[in-house]
Every structure is written in C-alpha cells, then in structure tokens.
Chains A and B, each alone.
Chain A
Amino acid sequence: MDLLLDVLDQQLVDKNGRKAGKVDGIAIELRDGKPPRVAYLEMGTDVLARRISPRFERWLQKWRKWMAREVEPFHVPWSKVKKVHLTVDADIDAAKEPVYYVEHWLAEHVIGPIPGSEIAHEDKQR
C-alpha cells in the first residue's frame, strides 16, 4: 500500500456506507528506535488550507477566532481503518463526527425549514 497514492485524498466511507469526506491529511507518529507508523487520518478545512499554504491556515484560524467559533479537528485513528481499496473504509459513524457538523447545521437551519425538503425521489428504473 502506498500512503500517498492509496490513502491520501481517497474517499472515506463509514460503517453505514455513508460518504464521510476525503482523506485530507495523514499524521505519522515518529517513535524512538522503532519505525514510524500512521497515527491517524485527519480531515477538515484547516488541513486543506495548510496543504495549499501554511499562510492560508493561519488566516483561516484568525478568521475562526474572530468569529468565535471553535472547530474540533476530525481524526480517524488508524486502528479504525478496515479496508483500503479504491475507498478507505473505517469503523466509525460519520453522522456523529465533526465532519457532519456543517451538514447537520444546514439541514436544521437552512434546508430543513424549506417546504418539501424531506421528499426523496423514487426514480423510475431504466
């Protein structure tokens, strides 16, 4: 397995088959006298901003401070990762994790109150 090719930027899928974001970053733990190992996968806008430039991440954090909004980082411990093949499958429930914060907030405050927001479409089979 190649961490950069097979894990980084791949689709993370939770135990219910729900898409839980792409793997934005990988944290490696360096250990004295032993080979380094993967500690956890990390995701979120901070990581994405940092990957473009550390300056972006500082701006983002300043803006967060100014907005007085704390964002928990979302880490998936490597021990929870079950399978790596085209997707990264992890034994977590994404809906209960911080990656779903924005989704829940929008569902509750913006999209939910609009009439018809709960209707799914039964598409005719082709």
Chain B
Amino acid sequence: MSDDLPSNSDVLAGITKGLLEHAEKKALDWVDRFRNHEIVFIEDSDTIDRVKKQRKSPEWKILSEVIKDKKLRLLAQMGLTLRELENDQEKTQSLRKKIHHKYGRDGLHIAEAVQNNIISNFIGLESPNIGEPIDLTNRLEKLLNNVEKNIVFIGPEDKEDVLFRRVSIRLDADVPDTLILFGAYKAKRTAISVRGKIEKAFPSYSTSSYETKIKIIIFINRLN
C-alpha cells in the first residue's frame, strides 16, 4: 500500500468521527428545540396516539367524571387499554405485567373490572338511584378499593358448590351493598348456576345481570 493512501483503519476512524459529529450536531439542534418547547422525544407514535384516543372516548369521559382518585383513574384507563389490546397477546401481557408490578393483584383486578365492562355497567345501574354525583364517586371508589371483596372473578376451574359457599359467607359476614360475579366462557355457566342458588338462599338480595355470548356480569344488590 502506498504511503500516500490512508489505511482502512484510518478510513474507518474518519467515518466514525464524521458520524459522531453528525449525531452531536443533530442532538444539539433537537435538544435546543426541546428546550424551546417545540418538540418532545417519543419512541413510537402508536402508543401515544392510543392513550390520547382513549382519553377522548365516551366511556373514559363517563369514568373520569365519576372516578376522582388518581390511582383508580389510571387503572381504569389501563382497563380500557387492555380491552383494546385484547387481540395482541404480546402487548396485553406486557401491560398486565407492568400493572401487576406497580399496583399488585388488586390493581390488575381493578383494570380487569373496567376491561370487562363491569364498572361501566355498575355506573349505569347505580346512576339512577343516586342523588349527588359525589355519592356515586364514593360508592364506586369504595367498590374498587375493595375489589377482592366486592368482585368475584370466576375461574374456569372453580366448582359451583365451593363458589356458592364462598359467596354465601361473604354475603353473611360482610353484608355488602353490592357483590359482583363475573364469568366468561365455561365460568359463565358456573356464574348462572350460583346466581340461581343465591336468589333462593338470600331473599334480602336482588340480582340483575348484563351478558354477552361469552361472558356474564351478575350484580347482587342488597335490598333496602
């Protein structure tokens, strides 16, 4: 190789230096624009657009008017996101993991309650009976803050008799204003059977339900 020609390593070093200088210049310009409040840095616009779109949805409008607690609002919004992501297993699992990591099992159940329309139906059922908006807020936030006690997510392996005993104990011991059963697919049948038994065994409670082809939400309400 002639002494006049640069070596391969010199060429590579030159390219690297050029790239770094270009990156530096670009970064400096962008950081200036950021500090002038002209831009924000994002990764992908899909995630942000999804969150923004949801915050404009009619369901969020209702939920956000009723739910005032910051943590519950966030979990409610995550419930709507989980519903939207239902067909994307990878994104659903990733978000569920994050919710669970930050807010534990209760937090995940609160999000699932919104995801499965339990909360919107609760608001729909309760709204006509409640005088002041703050009373609905208090009632809903109490329900969500005690999600493990107030909402029973029936699993596919849950046995009807065991579940009936569990629900009966809760109704006898806690005397809740509302207890909600949720079942999907195979668990829907279990929920319907348990409802029948509850109606016979607990005359002081009335039941109502919302159902689709695959799931059912049963509201067990204490009669005044």
A and B bind: no
Chain B positions near chain A (C-beta within 8 angstroms)? none
